[in-house]
Structure 1
Amino acid sequence: MVNRLFFLILCCSIPFQGTAQKSKKPPKPQVLVYGHGADAFSAAMQSAQSGVETYWIVDSTNIGGTLIQGETKSISSNHLLDVGTWAFFLKGIANVKEISDSALFAAKKHIAPRIAQNVFENSADTIKRLSYKKNLTISAIEKSGKGWQITLSNRKKIKVRAIVDATDKASLLSLLKEKDIKDKEYFPSELVKQINYDSSLYRTGVAVGQIGKQIFNIPLSNLLPDSSLRNYFSTKPNEKLLSPDNIERIPLLMLRAQACGAAAAYCAFFNTTSDKINVRTLQGELLAFKSFMMPFQDIRLSDVHHPQIQRVGATGILRGVYKNNENSFQFSPDSLVSSKEVEFPIKQLYTRSQIWFKDKDIPVFKLSDLLDLIKYVANRGEELNAEVEKGWIKRFKFKGSYDPERKLSRREFAVLVDTYLQPFHVRVNLKGELQY
C-alpha cells in the first residue's frame, strides 16, 4: 500500500509533456540604442514606450552623462517648453506624481547629480520592453537587409531594424565599411532656429526648443540621415547646438533624442525605412507621450486643450506670433479669430471651403459661423448644434455657457476644428507640403 502510494505521488510529480509549458525565449530586440547620456535614456525610453523591444547598450558604468557629474545644476533653457522626456525627468527630480508648472520650474533650478542618477537608473529598470546592458561597447556595425547587424565587445551579434546612436558626433559611423556609406555629410548640418511660416517645414516639427532669443521647432527632416544610412538615427551628429557638455542644451537634446527613438520605433514597428516615415503618425505618437510640435510658450502640458492646439497649430490654421521683442512665441488662446486669419490655410486643406468663404468678411468668428463652416465642409446637418451644446462643458471642457452668438476664442476654435474637421489627418511630406 505504501509502495503504491509513493508510486502515485511520484507519477503526479512528473509533469505531463502534453500540458507542460515551454520556457519562453526572450523577445528579440528591434531597436538598438547606444550611449550613456540623457539623450540615450530619452531615445531608449521612447522607443520602448512606442511598443517595440528595445536594447540599450550603455557604454559606461552609469547612466546620465553630464547631468550626473559635478555640482548641482540649474537650467534656464526651454523656458515654458518643459515637455516630453525632459518633463518626465524633471518630474522625477521633483518627486511628484503629477506634472505642474511650479514643480517643473523648481526642479530645473536644482538638479542634484545623485538624484538625477537615481531617476535615470530607476526609470530604466521599470520601462516595459526596455532591456539594457552597462559597460559594453559596439565593435562592428554593418547593413543587413533593411536593418543592421551589430557586433558587441563581448562578441555577441545582434540584428535590429533600427539604430539610435547617442554617442558624440555619431561615433558609430567610423565603424561602417565604405560600401555601406556614400557621402561625407550624413545629416543636415544646421537647425533653423525660428518658426518661419513662409516655409512649410514648421508643419513637420518633432521637438521644440528655446535657447536665448531663439524659439523654434526641429523638423523631422533634421533627424533623417542620408539615404545610404536608412534606419540609422543620431541624437547629436555634428551640431554644436546639441553639445551635451553645454548644460543649457540638455532639454533640446533630450527632446530631439525622444523623436529619434520614436522614429526608430516607427521603422521597426512598420518594418519600413526612415525615408517612408509618415510625418503625422510620428508626430501623433510624440504628442501622445507629451512632446510638442509647436513651441507655443503660453500652452503648457497642464493645459487640458494642449493636444488639440498642438495639432491645429501644426497645420497652420491658427499660427503663433513672436512677442516681447521676439523673446516669446505665443498662441494667444484667449484672442479672437477673424476669417482673414484662417481663410487661406483652410482653403488649402479643404477645397470645398472655397465656396463657403466666397464674399465673406468675418471680423470676429462667432460660434454660429464656425458651426456653419463645419456643416458645409464636413457635410453635417443641424444635429451638430445640439451635439456641440451637449458636449460644451463635459466633452470639450469649455468655460462659460453654450451660445451660438458668442465670439469664439482661438482655444475654442482650435478644439472644434480639430474635433470636426480633423485637419491634422491631412498628410504632409518631409517638406511640410500637403499630400491629398
Structure 2
Amino acid sequence: MIKKFLTLLLVLVSTISFADTIKTDVLVVGGGASGVAAAIQAARSNVKTMLIEQGPWLGGAMTSGGMCILEANRNLPNGFYGEFRERVKNYYKVRLGYDTTFNAVLNFEPSIGASILKKLTDTVKNLTVRLNTPFTAIKKDGTGWEVSITVNGKTDVIKAKSVVDATEYADVATKAGAIFNTGFDSKKETGEAQAPADPTNQIQDISYIAILKDYGRTADKTIARPDNYEASQYACLKKIDIKAMLKRGALINDKYMVNWNDCANQFSVTSDDLSPENRAETFRKARLHTLGLIYYLQNELGYKNLGLAEDFPTKDKLPLIPYIRENKRAYGEVRMVLDDVYTPYTRGSRLYRTSIGIGDAIPGQHYIIPGAPKIKYPPFPPYSVPMGVIVVKDAVNLFVTEKAMSVTHLVNGSITDPAVQMALGQGVGASAAWCAFYGKTTKELDVRHIQDEILIYGGSIMPFNDIPKSDPAYRAVQQVGATGMLNGFRSVTGNTAQMLFKPDTTVYTAEVKPYLNETFARSFLWFNKTQPGESFTVGNLLSYISEMSLTDPETLERIMRANWKTKYNFTVAFDTRRPVTRREFVVLANKYLNPFSRKVDLSGKIVN
C-alpha cells in the first residue's frame, strides 16, 4: 500500500515538474489585427516578445472572421498596416484585374491574409508565436504578470513585464479585474451631442461572414437545409439588388465576401451572450443564421451556382470565428469621446498630443432589433488615437486593444475596424515595449519617447491627408503637429471629411503665440519687443529662433540663405519680409526649437 502511495506521489511530482515557466518581456494575448501589429512592433523595439493565439490562424476578424475587405485607412496606409497592404498587393499583383492603386480598397482571401501574417512574423527577431494556445488565467507578479496557458493538455506559466490583451472579448483584462462598461453611453455622461439621452445596454450585432464562390452557371452547390430554418427571416433580401451586393463584396478567384446588413448575416447579441459560458451556444445559433442565409440565397433566389468556398478548415465552411463589432470597454487612464475626433484642438484636454496611431473609418451601426438609437454622425474625419485609452486604469503594465479600449460607444463604431486596429496596434506594441525595456510602469509612460519609436518604424501619430510619408517635411509635420503648435483643419466635402495641414498657407501670429508663450520661458519678452504683425514672417521666425536658441541673428540668416532650397527643400525663395508658410515654420521650428522634446502627460498637458 505504501509502495503504491509513493509511486502515485512520484507521478504527481513528476507531472508538476514538467510544467514550464517561460519568461518574456512583452506578452501579447490574441493574434488579431492589433495583436500581430503590437507583437511585431514590440519585438522590433528590441525586447523579447511572445504572441499567443488560441486558434490556428493569425489575423483575427480579417482572416479567421472572414472580414477580408478593408475600406478604412486606405488614404493613410502608414506603419504596419501599410506594410501588410503592400504584401497583399504584391501577392495579387500578377492576378488579372486586381486593383493595386495607392488607395484602393484592400481585399484578399482570408487564408492568404493569414499566411502573409504568419510569414511576416516568422522573419521578426525577438518574436515567438504560438498558435492553438489558449490563455486560462492571469495574476499579478510585482509590476509584471503571470499568465497561464494550455500546452498539450498541461498548464505552463508565462512571466511577462508587460501584457497586451488583444483578445476579441477582453478576456485577459476581465480576469485581471478590470472594470468595464457596455452599450450606449448617455449624453449626460460623455457630453457627446450625438449620444442618446439615456444609456442602453445594446451592443452592435455580430455576424458570421460567408465566403462564396461561383462554381459556374450549371453547378448546384445547394447546402442542406439548416436546423430551425425559417425563410421569412430573410424575406427582406427580395427587395435587394443581389448582383450589386455580390459585386461590392467581390474577391479574386470568383469569390465573394457576404457580410450583408439587416436580415442577412447580422445576429443580435448582448454582452452577456459573449461571456465565456454563453459563447458556444450564441455562436452555434449565429452560424445557423448565416447558413440559413446561404440556403435562402440558393433556393429562394436561384443562386444555386454560389457555394461556400473552401477557405476555412471548418466542417460547415464558415469562418473560424464570428465578426465581433463590439463587446465591453475597459475604463482606461483617459476615455476618448467624439469631440476628440471632431474638435480635438478646442477641448480642455489635448489627447491628440498623446497619439499612438491614426484611424480613418466611418462608424458602423448594425442592429436588427428595433428601438436601438440611430446615430446621425456628421462627416467623420481621420483622427488620432490617444495613448491613455489603451492603459487599463489601476492595472499596472496591462494594455488593451481590439474591443476593450477606453472609448465611448459612438467612437467604438470606428476604432474597432480591423484596418484601424492594425494601424494602432503598432502604438500598443511600442508602449508595452517601452515599459519592459526601461523597467518602467504604465504610471510613468514617456509619451514623446514612445511616439518617436512609432515614427522611426514608419507609423503615424497625426492624421493629415495632405502630407504623405514621401513628403520631405513629413517627420517635422508629425512631430510639431503632435505638440499643437500648429493645428490641422477639418475639411468637409459632401459626406466625407479630411484632416488637412495645408503646408503652403500662411502662419498667423495669433495661432502660434499661445503655444510659444506656454512653452518657452523668454517668449513673452520677444513678443512684447518685436510686436509681429497679423502674419508671421520668415524674419519673425528667424528672430524668434535666434532669441530662444541664443544664436547670432546674422549667422543664422546666412545659414538659412545657403540651405533654404538645398537642405530644407523649400520651393519659395528666401525672403525675410514675406509671410512664412506652415511647411517652412514646422521644419525650422522642429530643428531649432524642438518643441517635440517637451514632455506631456496622458491628458496632453505639458509637463515642466
TM-score, normalized by length of structure 1? 0.84
Q: Give 1:34 shift.
A: 1.1
Rg (Cα) greater in structure: 2
Quote the residue 2:76 is aligned against: 81
Higher mean C-alpha displacement, 68-77 vs 370-379: 68-77
1:203 aligns with 2:384: no
Residues 131/426 of structure 1: CA separation in 2 closer, same or farther (3 Å cut): same
Residue 332 of structure 1 deviates from its aligned partner by 0.4
Tell me the distance in 2 between the aligned counterparts of 1:73 and 1:159. 34
1:363 to 530, 534, 544: 534
Q: Deviations over 1:79-99 (max 9, x none)?
A: 522222111111111229xxx
Alpha-carbon distance in 2 for matches of 1:423, 1:190: 25
Cα distance in 1 for residues equivalent to 2:415 and 2:574: 48
**Residue in structure 1 matched with residue 445 of structure 2 by the alignment:** 277
Preserved contact between residue 173 and residue 400 of structure 2 (Cα < 8 Å)? no
Q: Which residue among 37, 56, 59 is the counterpart of 2:32? A: 37
Give the structure 2 partner of residue 92 of structure 1: 87
The answer to whether residue 331 in structure 2 is matched with residue 187 in structure 1 is yes
Deviates more, 1:27-36 or 1:372-381: 27-36
Q: Tell me, in whole angstroms, the C-alpha distance in 2 between the residues paired with 1:151 and 1:242.
A: 32
Q: CA deviation at 1:401?
A: 4.2
Residues 319-375 of structure 1 show CA distances to partners (whole Å, capped at 9, x for unaligned) of 111112571111101101121221111111113111111262423333222111100
AA paired with 2:355? Answer: G
Aligned match of 1:160: 160
Distance 1:218 1:353, change over 3 A: same
The question of whether the paired residues in 1 share the 8 Å contact of 2:31 and 2:51 is answered with: no
User: What is the CA-CA distance between 1:103 and the residue it aligns to?
Assistant: 4.4
Per the alignment, residue 543 of structure 2 pairs with 372
Distance 1:159 1:241, change over 3 A: farther
* Residue matched to 2:173: 173
**Residue pair 2:353, 2:604 contacting (<8 A) in 1 also:** yes
1:130, CA displacement in angstroms? 0.8
Query: What corresponds to 1:105 in structure 2?
Result: 103
1:220 equivalent among 387, 394, 406: 387
Aligned to 2:126: 129
CA contact (8 A) 1:139 1:175 kept: no
* Cα contact 2:356–2:384 (8 A) shared by 1: yes
Could you tell me which residue of structure 2 aligns to residue 412 of structure 1?
Answer: 584
Give the letter aligned to residue 400 of structure 2.
S
Contact 2:464-2:488 at 8 Å conserved across structures? yes
SS at match of 2:164: strand
Structure 2 SS opposite 1:122? helix
Q: Please, what is the CA RMSD of the aligned residues?
A: 2.6
1:279: how far off? 1.1
SS in structure 1 at match of 2:107: coil
- Contact map agreement 1:31 1:162 (CA 8 A) in 2: yes
Name which of structure 1's ranges 68-77 and 112-121 shifts more when overlaid on structure 2. Answer: 68-77
Counterpart amino acid of residue 346 in structure 2: D
How far apart are residue 293 of structure 1 and its match? 1.9
**Residue aligned with 1:434, SS:** coil
Mapped contact 1:312–1:414 kept (Cα < 8 A): yes
Whether the 8 Å CA contact 1:242–1:252 is kept in 2: the answer is no
Partner of 1:314: 482
In structure 2, the residue matched to 1:146 is 143
Contact 2:26 2:160 in 1 (8 A): yes
Q: Label 1:35 to 1:72 Cα distance change in 2 as closer, same or farther (>3 A).
A: closer
Deviation at 1:71, TM superposition (A): 6.9
Letter in 1 for 2:582: R
Give the letter aligned to residue 359 of structure 2: G
Question: Are residues 351 and 255 of structure 1, via their aligned partners in 2, closer, same or farther at CA, if it must alter by over 3 Å?
Answer: same
Contact 1:72 1:111 in 2 (8 A): no
Secondary structure at 2:359's aligned position in 1? strand
Q: What does 1:298-313 align with in structure 2 at a 5 Å threshold?
A: 298-313=466-481
The alpha-carbon deviation at position 275 of structure 1 amounts to: 1.4
Equivalent pair of 2:356/2:428 in contact (CA under 8 Å): no
- Cα pair 2:79 2:459 within 8 Å, conserved: yes
1:124-164 CA distance string (max 9 Å, x none): 01011111111111222111011011222022222110011
Counterpart of 2:452, as a letter, is G
Decide whether the 8 Å contact of 1:139 with 1:153 is kept in 2.
Answer: yes
Tell me, yes or no, if structure 1 residue 393 matches structure 2 residue 560.
Answer: no
TM superposition shift of 1:377: 1.4
Secondary structure of residue in 2 paired with 1:55: strand
Structure 2 length as normaliser, TM-score? 0.61
Cα pair 2:504 2:583 within 8 Å, conserved: yes
Compared CA separation, residues 184 and 329, structure 1 to 2 (3 A): closer
What is the alpha-carbon distance in structure 1 between the residues aligned to residue 101 and residue 564 of structure 2? 31
Q: What one-letter code is carried by the residue in structure 2 that aligns with 1:148?
A: W
Q: CA deviation at 1:278?
A: 1.0
Choose the corresponding residue for 1:117, options 83, 105, 114: 114
Once residues 310 and 404 of structure 1 are traced to their aligned partners in structure 2, the CA distance between those partners, rounded to angstroms, is: 25
Give the drift of 1:296.
Answer: 1.2
Q: Pick from 326, 334, 339: which aligns with 2:504? A: 334
The one-character-per-residue Cα deviations of 1:189-227 (angstroms, maximum 9, x if unpaired) are 654433421232221122211233223211111111111
Which of these residues, 443, 460, 464, is aligned with residue 296 of structure 1? 464
Q: Which runs of 5+ in 2 are unaligned?
A: 1-21, 92-99, 182-329, 363-378
Q: 1:131 to 1:248 in 2, by over 3 A?
A: closer
Q: Identity across aligned pairs (percent)?
A: 30
Q: Which amino acid in 1 is paired with 2:392?
A: P
Letter in structure 2 aligned against 1:54: T
Aligned length: 399
8 Å CA contact retained: 1:309, 1:415 = yes
**CA distance change for structure 1 residues 285 and 71 in 2, over 3 Å: closer, same or farther?**
closer
Supply the distance in 2 between the matched residues of 1:149 and 1:329 (Cα, whole angstroms).
42
**Residue 429, structure 1, aligned to residue 601, structure 2:** yes
Matches within 5 A, 1:208-287: 208-212=358-362, 213-215=379-381, 216-227=383-394, 229-236=395-402, 237=404, 249-287=417-455
1:354 aligns with 2:524: yes
Unaligned runs of 5+ in 1: 1-26, 97-101
2:460 alignment partner, SS class: coil
Q: Distance in 2 between matches of 1:399 and 1:49?
A: 36
* Cα contact 1:321–1:329 (8 A) shared by 2: yes
Question: 1:78 deviation in Å?
Answer: 2.6
Post-superposition offset of 1:241: 6.8
Structure 2 Cα separation of the partners of residues 37 and 282 of structure 1? 22
Opposite residue 39 of structure 1, the aligned amino acid is: S
Distance of 2:521 and 2:447 partners within structure 1: 22
Q: Which moved more, 1:353-362 or 1:338-347?
A: 353-362
